[in-house]
Amino acid sequence: MNRYHESMEHCAPPPELETRLREAVLSADPERNTHPAVFRPRGFFRKALLAAVLAVALTLSVGAAVLVHWDDIFTDRFGPEGAETPMAEKAFQPVNVSSVCDDVTLTIREGLVDEKSIYLILDYQLPDTVDPETVEMAYNSREDTQKDDIELPSITYYATDDVAWDDLKAAEQDTWATLDWTDPLTRLFYGKSENTLSRTGRVNGSSGLGEAGYDPVTNTLSYLCYITGDDDELDLTAQPLTLLVTPPVLRVNGVDTAVTDHPAILTFQPMAVSQTLTGSYRHDGFFARAVLSPMSIYVEVSGGTAYQDMGDLARDTSLVLLDGSVLPAADLILGYTGSGGRDTDDSFLFSASFTSQFQQLLDVSQVAAVQVGDIQIPLE
């Protein structure tokens, strides 16, 4: 857990946010259990190496040619062999879409897309009033001192039609004027509050954000971000996707200053060749469902379980390959978010689900089924 999330443990929201921002949180399922995957890609993913059997059986990269010429940010995330896979070729989208939001410009350079998961390379060009030398100094020293840093923004995703910046500004600018963007809770919960965009379809699920560089020449911060939706009915490629990005916070000599006084938005249309597999199992009132893509896995069970939390479900899930071998999902994923519910006074969950991203792109053509405990869910 990085210092951004640690800071949230010790901060209270400003009084004016109490009703608006906490309502969504307090109304959430009390059984929901999340493990947010906020990361710094250049350090974290070099440590996330798969077993040799996965590299051979599920990445199809041995002796292959490069199929996708993507940014080095994706290479840091998925390894140099990722660009050599058919999975990457089908998922890769050169987006190159920008949005000017007053003094801030957002750009999505590239994406990896399927129906349930999206990885994006996002650029945030800072206002001209923000000194590049100060940002560069804070960015380069952020791991060595508690005084200087450039804090991560918060990103919220909405499945919606194109949203005009001027329309959003007109509807929300009075609210923005009351918010302290240096407060981590404000950055975290604004996108989840009842703002104008939330009424059009916020995407719930597992998400993450990591630093990917700073260019002082253009005064631009780069990020690698992702979202995996946990709504069975939602196809992320079926409509435009809007990102709402709160202001990064510059910390100099221990003093926090938001780089601007408003969030920014960008809308684009995700596109990809479908690679997602689904399957379900039903017997004597017990139901299980699995959704598998090269980037993520979603599993849900209901009708009574032997699990006390969602981690038990994740640890009890495996992939069954066409050759009959079985790979535990826990060896392949980065962590999970999940939810569950139980009957009164029952120590076991009646229903549970989890969502997670894979460490490397998964060759789903080699997977026959998802196994949960003693049952197998055939995939199609």
Q: How far apart are CA 219 and CA 111, in angstroms?
A: 22
pLDDT given at position 39: 36
Residue 87 has pLDDT above 90, yes or no: yes
% of the chain residues with pLDDT over 90: 49
53 pLDDT tier (thresholds 50, 70, 90): very low
Asked whether residue 63 carries a pLDDT value surpassing 70, the answer given is no
Long-range contacts of residues 213-216, Cβ cutoff 8 Å, at least 24 apart: 213/73, 214/135, 214/136, 214/139, 214/150, 216/132, 216/133, 216/135, 216/136
Q: Reply yes or no on whether the pLDDT at 262 is more than 70.
A: yes
- Return the number of other C-beta atoms located less than 10 Å from residue 137's C-beta: 15
The pLDDT score that the predictor gives to residue 248 is 95
How far, in Å, CA of 341 to CA of 356, rounded?
A: 19
pTM: 0.80
Does 44 have pLDDT greater than 80? no
Secondary structure letter of residue 358 according to DSSP: B
Whole-number Å distance between alpha carbons of 185 and 182: 9
Is residue 146 very low, low, confident or very high in pLDDT (cuts 50, 70, 90)?
Answer: low
What mean pLDDT is predicted for residues 56-76?
A: 73
The residues, any chain, with a CB within 8 Å of residue 25's CB and separated by 6 or more, are: 189, 192
Structure tokens belonging to residue 232:
């069975």
Going by pLDDT thresholds of 50, 70 and 90, the confidence category of residue 145 is low
Mean pLDDT of 235-250: 93
